[in-house]
């Protein structure tokens, strides 16, 4: 048993004699059932979710109480051992008196170290996570060429590059329909192809014609007319939309995003995209519930919108 002495920080023997095992308890199962009910409720019904949350909370409390019983009881058991605690109290009192300077030096070393560490670390950390808190949905206007390329009351698929310096990654697609004029102002329906579920590219349900390549303002734009479009569908998870971009089936939580637009020197120009909750009506007379652009899958309307808070800072402002 010579090595007994050499053990660096070995466990005391009493530990080995009496291992601490948690007593049998039913609470984790009830807690898990509550969580399961909560998750099912989130899909089916808010009331069910609330009941599940309540069950989970109650049994989590009971479980924690059960699991910590031994820990919480310990001080009561330790109380009878008076001499030991008195000794400890004396030592605690004497310690700062005996080594005031060394304690001060120790603390100040730790403090200065933490300060230096913080000065070095925090800016680097901020640099890393800053993009997450800045609203930087910057969008360069895209010239799509003369209006003649967009026949009235027919959808065309326009493919263009939102950024010219990143290769194919900047490629975007919009479904554009010329609605004629409303109050003598040209009206367009310009729907983004980004699915409002998880961002896959949706396809128009219709008969595509032949693609035409044009160059407008030094940008290549491909324009493909599509006849009799009944709606849009996503190949990834089966999201389906009608011709105005309203969700008709599948997992998407809102309508398809749209682009703002303007007409400049006879050219159709795309401006920043925005998110859409719902569209009522059709074509030039459509009423669009517009919201700030959100990532796919995020609710922009209804009670769920509180789950997706807006950004703190705006990089434009």
Q: How many whole angstroms separate alpha carbon 30 and alpha carbon 28?
A: 5
72 binds another protein (CB under 8 A): no
309 binds another protein (CB under 8 A): yes
70 binds another protein (CB under 8 A): no
163 binds another protein (CB under 8 A): yes
124 binds another protein (CB under 8 A): no
For residue 152, give the nearest of 189, 180, 185, 187 by alpha carbon: 180
Q: Which residues contact 256 (CB under 8 A, 6 or more apart)?
A: 191, 192, 193, 194, 195, 196, 202, 232, 241, 245, 276
- For the bound state, the minimum distance from the C-beta of residue 145 to another protein, rounded and expressed in Å, comes to 23
- For the bound state, the minimum distance from the C-beta of residue 94 to another protein, rounded and expressed in Å, comes to 31
Segment interacting with another protein, rule: CB under 8 A, options 24-32, 58-66, 127-135, 242-250: 127-135
137 binds another protein (CB under 8 A): yes
- For the bound state, the minimum distance from the C-beta of residue 193 to another protein, rounded and expressed in Å, comes to 12
Segment interacting with another protein, rule: CB under 8 A, options 10-18, 74-82, 88-96, 216-224: 10-18
Q: How many whole angstroms separate alpha carbon 283 and alpha carbon 107?
A: 71
Q: How many whole angstroms separate alpha carbon 6 and alpha carbon 303?
A: 64
Structure tokens at 316: 């434009």
167 binds another protein (CB under 8 A): yes
- For the bound state, the minimum distance from the C-beta of residue 155 to another protein, rounded and expressed in Å, comes to 23
Rg of the chain, C-alpha, whole Å? 33
7 binds another protein (CB under 8 A): yes
* CB nearer another protein, residue 229 or residue 255: 255
* CB nearer another protein, residue 150 or residue 160: 160
166 binds another protein (CB under 8 A): yes
- 200-229 residues near another protein, rule: CB under 8 A: 200-201
10 binds another protein (CB under 8 A): yes
- For the bound state, the minimum distance from the C-beta of residue 187 to another protein, rounded and expressed in Å, comes to 28
Number of residues that bind another protein (CB under 8 A): 44
Contact code string over 12-51 relative to another protein, x by CB under 8 A: -x-xxx-xxx------------------------------
76 binds another protein (CB under 8 A): no
- For the bound state, the minimum distance from the C-beta of residue 258 to another protein, rounded and expressed in Å, comes to 17
Interface with another protein by CB under 8 A: which residues? 3, 6-11, 13, 15-17, 19-21, 129, 131-134, 136-138, 162-163, 166-167, 169-170, 198-201, 236, 293-298, 307-311
């Amino acid at each position: 048993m010579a090595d007994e002495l050499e053990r660096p920080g070995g466990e005391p023997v009493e530990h080995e004699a009496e291992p601490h095992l948690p007593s049998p308890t039913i609470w984790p199962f009830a807690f898990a059932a509550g969580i399961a009910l909560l998750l099912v409720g989130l899909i089916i019904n808010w009331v069910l979710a609330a009941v599940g949350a309540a069950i989970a909370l109650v049994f989590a409390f009971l479980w924690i109480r059960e699991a910590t019983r031994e820990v919480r009881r310990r001080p009561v058991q330790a109380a009878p051992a008076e001499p030991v605690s008195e000794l400890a109290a004396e030592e605690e009192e004497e310690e700062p008196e005996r080594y005031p300077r060394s304690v001060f030096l120790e603390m100040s070393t730790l403090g200065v170290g933490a300060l230096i560490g913080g000065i070095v670390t925090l800016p680097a950390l901020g640099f890393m996570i800053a993009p997450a808190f800045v609203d930087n949905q910057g969008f360069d206007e895209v010239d799509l060429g003369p209006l003649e390329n967009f026949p009235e009351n027919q959808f065309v698929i326009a493919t263009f590059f939102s950024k010219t310096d990143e290769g194919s990654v900047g490629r975007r697609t919009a479904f554009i329909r010329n609605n004629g004029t409303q109050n003598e102002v040209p009206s367009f329906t310009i729907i983004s192809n980004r699915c409002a579920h998880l961002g896959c590219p949706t396809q128009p349900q219709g008969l595509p014609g032949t693609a035409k390549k044009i160059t407008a303002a030094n940008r290549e734009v491909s324009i493909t007319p599509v006849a009799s479009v009944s709606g849009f569908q996503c190949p990834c998870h089966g999201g389906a939309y009608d011709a105005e971009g309203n969700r008709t089936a599948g997992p998407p939580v809102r309508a398809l995003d749209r682009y703002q637009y303007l007409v400049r020197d006879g050219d159709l120009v795309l401006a920043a995209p925005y998110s859409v909750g719902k569209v009522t009506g059709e074509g030039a007379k459509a009423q669009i519930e517009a919201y700030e652009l959100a990532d796919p899958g995020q609710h922009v309307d209804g009670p769920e919108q509180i789950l997706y808070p807006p950004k703190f800072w705006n990089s434009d402002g």
